């Protein structure tokens, strides 16, 4: 199975899906699922076929190549699986919406370009696929109209800035080394001067930091996540944003190489140290901002930023444990954030697009599968033991503590506290508490929504109990970067400084659960009350007006709100305003009066002659 064929199938499949949509929507849906599932199978079949380079095209005298490495296989697998699940999920979510053909075209196109990104063997292909991903994402974010337009604009402006920075870096590499092949560059670049390497890290880092929404370049993300169609938000948050992580890994550990990257700078001003701190800041602030959100998707979006911080922290630290943690966290995050967005989407689907946390509640009985999805999702997000998030966070914490960075570890821990608080609000306001009157007759989510939710929930458990499965692949990634591989068992990690054994955990927790169950069993029977029963000590309550979930965390909210404004967003808006003003001033050059225009011509001539006389240009 060659990579060209894979990409041809991905891109061709997306176009064919669009065309089939013109014939019949059923055919299109079936084909979209077929294509995305086939891709998963194809990529799974590539497991272990590492290192095959195929040159597929010559562009502007450059050889464009595709190459599969452990890293790219890992990302590709995640991309295609989550993509397929989102497409399955979309089937009913998108039914009866307008422009569904367009939606599926873009979904599959984005998937295909992400596969292209991870399989690129050279920077030009990487850039081309990256750009295609950017504009198709823009089109899909804008899909919902209304406030989605502003979100789309914000996204694309940031995205263009990032890709332009990348373009400079890429072409400067080409100008210096006459090649854009990533693996040839990795041999050549190691001998470059530190200044040049820093320049490369900064330009590429800008691009990837924007995509991965590292503070202070994160402001596009909350709006984009909130406004995009929910199944796509899942893809966006799960994998698309994490292309930034892939990019960081590529530039830091593949192109420049671990030795050079980790030696960049001096003392506290080491490049990776600064990046790790940026990651830490990205963990803390967004997590607390998330707590203030009343929009379910925005809440998750801010967590998406915060979790990105963990990944960067892990990667930037640059030890084998940290890298493993960062990469594993990318996967874990993808799984549970997709699950969470799907749960929200399922609720949205039944409630008519409602995302306001203050007006929902008590859906647990009505939509049990969505609840289970949300429960597993937040468990993973918090990092409860026996969920996948626990393992990757454990790896990251361990790295930080082992290497004597207690402050970083502490900030990461604070992030987890904030996460616990805010996701509880999320779960409670959606599923627990009273059921609002208007949702009394709500139905369960459709089967095709339940399937991905169940699969992902099980995966969270699976990777939580058997972390060795993914860690084996991650181990080979780390080894390919030139780090010492970890000693991984199916049940965890063995190391001299402390091992992780999930079986012990599993046994301990199981015992605990049994004990609790026994205690509850022996206690008095609980009385189950109707969900609509809003108890108010006998006072009469106006029907439908009283709802416990309004203003969750209100006192705390009032306390921290002034400190947690998104200052960067405000700054960017100001910047946009200033740009607009500047543009308007510049525009005034063209006054409309011909006399001025004639003056310009005469002045231009005069300046030209003056410059020649003064500086002898020619």
Partner 1 sequence: MDIQGVIHFMQNYTYYIGAFGLIFIGLFIMLVKRNLIKVILGLSILETGVNLFLVSVGYISKGTAPIFSNASIEGKSMVDPVPQALVLTAIVIGVAVLALALSLAVRLYQHYGTLDLRQIREQRW
Partner 2 sequence: MNDFGLFLNGINPVLFIVVPLGFAFGIPLLGMISKKIVKWVPVFVYSFVLVGALSNIPDVLDKPIIIQIGGFVPPFGINLVAGPVGILFSALIAFAGLMVSIYAVVYIKEGPEVRYHILYLLLLTGAMGVVLTGDIFNLFVFFEILCISSYTLVGYFGNKSGIESAVKYLIQGAIGSSLLLIGIGLLYGLFGTLNMADLARQISSADPVTVFIPMALMITGLGVEAALFPLNAWLPDAHSSAPSSISAILSGIAIEVGLYAVIRILFTIFGISDFIMFFVFLGVLTLLIGEMCAFSQNNIKRMLAYSSIGQIGLMVFAFAIATSHAVAGGLFQMISHTLGKGLLFMAAGYMIIRSGSMKTASFEGMGKRMPLTCVAFTIGAFSIVGLPPFIGFPSKFLIIQSALAKGTVLFTILTGLVLMGTVIEGAYFFRIVQVIYFKKGNGDSERNEAPIAALIPMFLFTAVIIIIGIYPKFVLGILDSAASELLNQIDYIRSVLG
C-beta of 609: minimal distance to partner 1 in Å? 14
The residues near 462 (Cβ < 8 Å, ≥ 6 apart) are 388, 469
Please count the residues of the chain.
618
23 contacts partner 2 (rule: CB under 8 A): no
- Closer to partner 2 by CB, 515 or 598: give it: 598
The residues near 161 (Cβ < 8 Å, ≥ 6 apart) are 206, 210
Round to whole Å and give the CA distance between 268 and 89: 47
600 contacts partner 2 (rule: CB under 8 A): yes
Pair of tokens at residue 87: 């497409």
DSSP-assigned beta bridge partners for residue 64: 57
Q: Of 61, 352, 523, 595, which lies in the binding site for partner 1, with binding defined by CB under 8 A?
A: 595
591 contacts partner 1 (rule: CB under 8 A): yes
Contact string 573-592 vs partner 2 (x = CB under 8 A)? ------xx-xxx-xx-xx--
C-beta of residue 453 within 8 angstroms of C-beta of residue 372: yes
SS3 per residue for 415-447: HHHHHHHHHHHHHHHHHCCCCCHHHCCCCCCCH
C-beta of residue 461 within 8 angstroms of C-beta of residue 387: yes
164 contacts partner 2 (rule: CB under 8 A): yes
C-beta of 130: minimal distance to partner 2 in Å? 9
User: Restricting to residues 394-433, which ones interact with partner 1 according to CB under 8 A?
Assistant: none
In terms of C-beta density within 10 A (0-12 exposed, 13-18 middle, 19 or more buried), how is residue 281 classed? middle
Round to whole Å and give the CA distance between 142 and 420: 32
Q: Of 37, 38, 50, 176, which lies in the binding site for partner 2, with binding defined by CB under 8 A?
A: 176
525 contacts partner 2 (rule: CB under 8 A): no
C-beta of 607: minimal distance to partner 2 in Å? 9
147 contacts partner 1 (rule: CB under 8 A): no
| Element containing residue 208 per DSSP (H, E) | helix 194-211
518 contacts partner 2 (rule: CB under 8 A): no
Q: Of 443, 521, 525, 587, which lies in the binding site for partner 1, with binding defined by CB under 8 A?
A: 587
593 contacts partner 1 (rule: CB under 8 A): yes
- Closer to partner 2 by CB, 516 or 608: give it: 608
User: Restricting to residues 597-616, which ones interact with partner 1 according to CB under 8 A?
Assistant: 598-599, 602
420 contacts partner 2 (rule: CB under 8 A): no
DSSP-assigned beta bridge partners for residue 59: 62
Q: Of 13, 152, 238, 470, which lies in the binding site for partner 2, with binding defined by CB under 8 A?
A: 152
Residue 513 interacts with, from partner 1, partner 2, none (CB under 5-8 Å by kind): none
| Element containing residue 110 per DSSP (H, E) | helix 100-119
What are the C-alpha distances in Å from 493 to residues 232, 382, 513? Answer: 35, 21, 25
C-beta of 228: minimal distance to partner 2 in Å? 12
Give, in degrees to the nearest 5, the angle at Cα 93 between 357 and 151. Answer: 60
- Closer to partner 2 by CB, 65 or 392: give it: 65
C-beta of residue 245 within 8 angstroms of C-beta of residue 193: no
C-beta of residue 219 within 8 angstroms of C-beta of residue 292: no
Count residues contacting partner 2 (CB under 8 A)? 56
Report the Cα–Cα distance between both ends of the chain, in Å, rounded: 60
Phi, psi of 63 (to 5 degrees): -90, 120
24 contacts partner 1 (rule: CB under 8 A): no
Phi, psi of 196 (to 5 degrees): -65, -40
C-beta of 577: minimal distance to partner 1 in Å? 19
For residue 287, give the DSSP letter. H
Round to whole Å and give the CA distance between 465 and 506: 7
594 contacts partner 1 (rule: CB under 8 A): yes
C-beta of 573: minimal distance to partner 1 in Å? 24
Do β-strands 53-59 and 492-493 pair in parallel, antiparallel, or remain unpaired?
A: unpaired
Q: Of 47, 196, 517, 590, which lies in the binding site for partner 1, with binding defined by CB under 8 A?
A: 590
Selection from 365, 379, 361, 385 nearest residue 423 by Cα: 379
C-beta of 585: minimal distance to partner 1 in Å? 11
Q: Of 153, 188, 413, 568, which lies in the binding site for partner 2, with binding defined by CB under 8 A?
A: 153
Query: Interface with partner 2 by CB under 8 A: which residues?
Result: 58-61, 127-128, 131-132, 134-135, 138-139, 142-143, 145, 148-149, 152-153, 156-157, 160-161, 164-165, 167-168, 171-172, 174-176, 579-580, 582-584, 586-587, 589-590, 594, 596-598, 600-601, 603-605, 608-609, 611-612, 617-618
Query: Interface with partner 1 by CB under 8 A: which residues?
Result: 587-588, 590-595, 598-599, 602
């Amino acid at each position: 199975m060659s990579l060209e064929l894979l990409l041809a199938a991905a891109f061709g499949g997306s176009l064919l899906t669009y065309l089939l949509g013109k014939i019949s929507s059923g055919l299109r849906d079936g084909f979209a699922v077929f294509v995305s599932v086939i891709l998963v199978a194809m990529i799974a079949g590539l497991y272990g076929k590492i290192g095959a380079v195929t040159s597929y095209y010559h562009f502007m005298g450059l050889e464009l190549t595709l190459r599969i490495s452990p890293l790219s296989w890992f990302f590709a697998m995640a991309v295609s699986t989550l993509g397929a699940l989102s497409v399955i999920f979309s089937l009913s979510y998108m039914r009866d919406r307008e422009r569904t053909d367009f939606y599926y075209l873009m979904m599959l196109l984005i998937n295909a370009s992400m596969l292209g990104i991870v399989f690129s063997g050279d920077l030009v292909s990487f850039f081309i696929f990256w750009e295609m991903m950017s504009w198709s994402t823009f089109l899909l974010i804008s899909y919902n109209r209304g406030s989605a337009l502003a979100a789309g604009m914000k996204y694309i402006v940031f995205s263009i800035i990032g890709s332009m920075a990348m373009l400079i870096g890429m072409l400067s590499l080409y100008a210096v080394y006459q090649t854009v092949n990533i693996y040839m560059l990795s041999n050549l670049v190691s001998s470059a001067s530190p200044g040049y390497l820093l320049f490369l890290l900064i330009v590429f880092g800008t691009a990837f930091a924007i995509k991965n929404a590292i503070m202070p370049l994160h402001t596009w993300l909350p709006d984009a996540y909130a406004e995009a169609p929910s199944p796509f938000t899942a893809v966006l948050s799960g994998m698309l944003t994490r292309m930034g992580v892939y990019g960081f890994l590529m530039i830091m550990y593949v192109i420049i190489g671990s030795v050079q990257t980790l030696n960049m700078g001096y003392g506290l001003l080491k490049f990776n140290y600064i990046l790790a701190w940026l990651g830490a800041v990205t963990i803390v602030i967004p997590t607390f901002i998330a707590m203030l959100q009343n929009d379910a998707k925005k809440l998750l979006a801010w967590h998406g930023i915060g979790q990105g911080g963990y990944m960067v922290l892990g990667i930037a630290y640059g030890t084998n444990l940290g890298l493993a943690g960062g990469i594993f966290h990318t996967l874990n995050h993808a799984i549970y954030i997709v699950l969470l967005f799907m749960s929200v989407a399922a609720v949205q689907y039944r409630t008519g697009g409602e995302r306001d946390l203050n007006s929902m509640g008590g859906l647990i009985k009505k939509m049990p599968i969505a609840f289970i999805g949300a429960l597993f999702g937040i468990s993973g997000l918090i990092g409860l033991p026996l969920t996948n998030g626990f393992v990757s966070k454990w790896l990251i914490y361990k790295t930080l503590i082992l290497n004597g960075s207690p402050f970083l570890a502490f900030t990461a821990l604070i992030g987890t506290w904030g996460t616990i608080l805010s996701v509880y609000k999320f779960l409670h306001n959606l599923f627990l508490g009273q059921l609002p009157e208007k949702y009394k007759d709500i139905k369960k989510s459709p089967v095709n929504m339940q399937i991905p939710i169940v699969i992902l929930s099980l995966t969270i458990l699976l990777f939580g109990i058997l972390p060795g499965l993914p860690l084996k692949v991650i181990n080979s990634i780390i080894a390919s970067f030139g780090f010492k591989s970890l000693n991984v068992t199916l049940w965890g990690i063995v190391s001299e400084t402390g091992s992780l054994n999930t079986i012990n955990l599993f046994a301990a927790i199981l015992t605990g659960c049994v004990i609790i169950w026994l205690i509850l069993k022996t206690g008095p029977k609980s009385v189950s009350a109707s969900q609509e029963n809003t108890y108010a000590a006998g006072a009469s309550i106006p029907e439908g007006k009283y709802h416990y979930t309004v203003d969750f965390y209100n006192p705390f909210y009032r306390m921290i709100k002034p400190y947690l404004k998104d200052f960067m967003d405000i700054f960017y808006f100001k910047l946009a305003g200033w740009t607009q003003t500047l543009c308007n001033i510049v525009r005034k050059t063209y006054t409309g009066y011909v006399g001025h225009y004639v003056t310009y011509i005469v002045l231009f001539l005069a300046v030209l002659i003056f410059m020649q006389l003064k500086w002898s240009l020619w």
